[in-house]
Amino acid sequence: MLNLITDPNLQWILLGSMLLGISTGVVGTFAYLRKQSLIGDTLAHAALPGICIAFMLTEVKSVGLFMIGAIVAGMIATVGISWITRYSRIKQDAAMGIVLSVFFGLGIVLLTQIQHSSYGNQSGLDKFLFGQAASMTAKDVYTMTSVAVVLIVVCALLFKEFKLISFDPGYARGLGFSVAMLEQLLLWLVTIAVVVGIQAVGVVLVAALLITPAVSARYWTDRLGVMTVLSGLFGSLSGAIGTWVSAGTAQLPTGPLSVLTATAVFVASVLFGPQRGVIARLVRRRTAKRDWAAENAKQSGAGVGASAKERGVSA
Amino acid sequence: MSGFWIMLTGALVASCCGILGCFLILRRMALVGDAISHSVLPGIVIAFLVSGSRDSFFMLFGAAILGFLTVFLIQLFQQSGVQNDASIGVVFTSLFAAGVLLVSLNAQHVDLDLDCVLYGEIAYVQWNSLVLGGVDLGPKAVWLLGITLFIIVALMTLFYKQFKLCAFDPALAAAIGIPVALFHYVLMGLVSMATVSSFESVGAILVVGLLIVPPATAYLLTDRLGAMIGLSLVIGVISSVGGYYAAAALDASIAGCMVCVAGVMFVLAFLFSPSHGFVVRKLRQRVSAAREAY
């Protein structure tokens, strides 16, 4: 197992997965607080038409171009979600569902167009969508590093603003912040994190990296700063353990293992979280019950004594 | 003839999804269909490993069990304090991850094309027909979806009032003695049934799209639940028929075109709905502003 850590190829993958985990964990915290956990799933699906159009326009299979297409499509999708929720009475979850299915449907139509026309084979397109962490190279890790740095710096600089719009957007508007713009910016950061993640772990599993670390972190603290750090930590831990286990066994893919590690952290948090955890709550309920029973016994005991005394006096 | 069967299948999926989707939208659980269509993967793989055959009955059985398990787990985490959307997200992604892992663990034995199992193709519906005693009774998918639709319609007509009250005011429903949790599980069970029985034959994206887009469009057009269900059915059926012809004209994916037609109708309703449309609202604002200035 030790030689795994010294294997240079593995070091790149390990670093890449950890950086990805940090970035998705940090932006995921805000998405979770704004009840937009499923935005990752939506954006990952909405990337498909962008990738197809990028391919149709250039006829080149390059990951960089696909990423640009995916990011543009994701940004349009976030604008669509914001418009639907702002200008109609449709709620966020339904708006995300509409954007997800319509964009993905459009993507499938474009994909069949590519298949049926003279663009040649499109096998590279779905490889991009399903992700291959094990084929990560130094170049991908450079991209991930820069993305992670940008995301973390922006989140740190705008921490106060993001905190405000996560908890009380009405108050933020009252203070004169441009809430719509900040919300849009946050969604774009999520888009970038998701698109980088798709490449490594695939469409469905990138959603997990956005949600699961953030939910787990919520169980350990009531402070946003601590929660953000914890979430990034859980994310990178899941990435690291996933990579390590997958390198140790021959045929297991990294993405699903990272997600299952994150899920294990989540289950542990739900059970053992100090305040909100299931066990903590059970203990609290039991102590409250015992205290109440003791109090009751004392009172009723006192009550019986008092009444007996009274009776004695009257007799 | 093939066109007829494809449109009929599409219309049946649209009807199942249209009815259930209205309740999902009102309860803010629109993405449950998406979650179920992903999380059934381990069920399909296990069914395949146990039975060793690609018979669709076993696959369906495994998928149905996982569908119910998904719904149950989502509810369990919600009750232990996890936010609604996060609970859906955690459950379906981890089940899907488990499924992918199972596939790659058994890659030598499993000759299972994921695309093929997970994302059925509606164009092939008519080739997979039900033959009983030598008589061709039409596509299997039509029968399966017909039975599902029958069960949905029967339960909805019997318990319409209860479902309606649970969707709008669960607290009141609980106060007057309706078993809210039971109706929630019945609704989610129906969603899981509709998803599982349609995705194998028509593809997950069509189910997810038809579960959300037509009901959301109807939601913009009316304020009455009965009318919303009716409109959502009509919109769903129009999308499947229109999508079929659009796909024939463009030579593109039928399921994708059906969802796109539904999307176009949603955009039209979003802009021009007489009661909740964007244009109408802006006009009304302008008129009242003008009146004020006057």
pLDDT tens, position by position, A251-269: 678 888 889 999 999 999 9
Q: How confident is the model at residue A123 (pLDDT cuts 50, 70, 90)?
A: low
Residue A315 has a pLDDT of 46
ipTM, interface predicted TM-score of the complex:
0.89
Residue of chain A whose alpha carbon sits nearest to that of B222: A89
Q: Over 70: is that where the pLDDT of A302 sits?
A: no
Q: Are B134 and A289 contacting, i.e. CB atoms less than 8 angstroms apart?
A: no
Alpha-carbon gap: A169 to the closest alpha carbon of chain B (Å) = 19
Question: Between B41-51 and B56-79, two packed helices, what is the crossing angle to 10 degrees?
Answer: 140
Cβ contact, residue pair B89, A37, below 8 Å: yes
Within the 205-264 window of chain A, which residues sit less than 8 Å (CB to CB) from chain B? 205, 207-208, 210-212, 214-215, 251-253, 255-257, 259-260, 262-263
Q: Over 60: is that where the pLDDT of A294 sits?
A: yes
Residue B79 has a pLDDT of 84
pLDDT tens, position by position, A73-93: 999 999 999 999 988 889 999
E strand or H helix that includes residue B38? helix B32-39
What does pTM read for this prediction? 0.87
Residue A29 has a pLDDT of 93
**Partners of residue B116 on adjacent β-strands:** none
Q: How confident is the model at residue B243 (pLDDT cuts 50, 70, 90)?
A: very high
pLDDT tens, position by position, A32-80: 998 888 898 899 889 889 988 988 888 777 778 888 999 999 999 999 9
**Partners of residue B129 on adjacent β-strands:** B139
The CA dihedral of B175, B177, B181, B185, to the nearest 10 degrees, is: -140
Q: What percent of chain B is modeled with pLDDT above 90?
A: 38
One DSSP character per residue, A208-267 reads HHHHHHHHHHHTT-S-HHHHHHHHHHHHHHHHHHHHHHHHHSSS--HHHHHHHHHHHHHH
Q: Over 60: is that where the pLDDT of B118 sits?
A: no
Q: Going by C-beta distance under 8 Å and a sequence separation of 6 or more, which residues neighbour residue B101?
A: A252, A253, A256, A257, A260
Q: Over 60: is that where the pLDDT of B114 sits?
A: no
Residue B120 has a pLDDT of 57
Q: Residues B144-160: what's their mean pLDDT?
A: 92
Residue A1 has a pLDDT of 47
Residue B142 has a pLDDT of 85
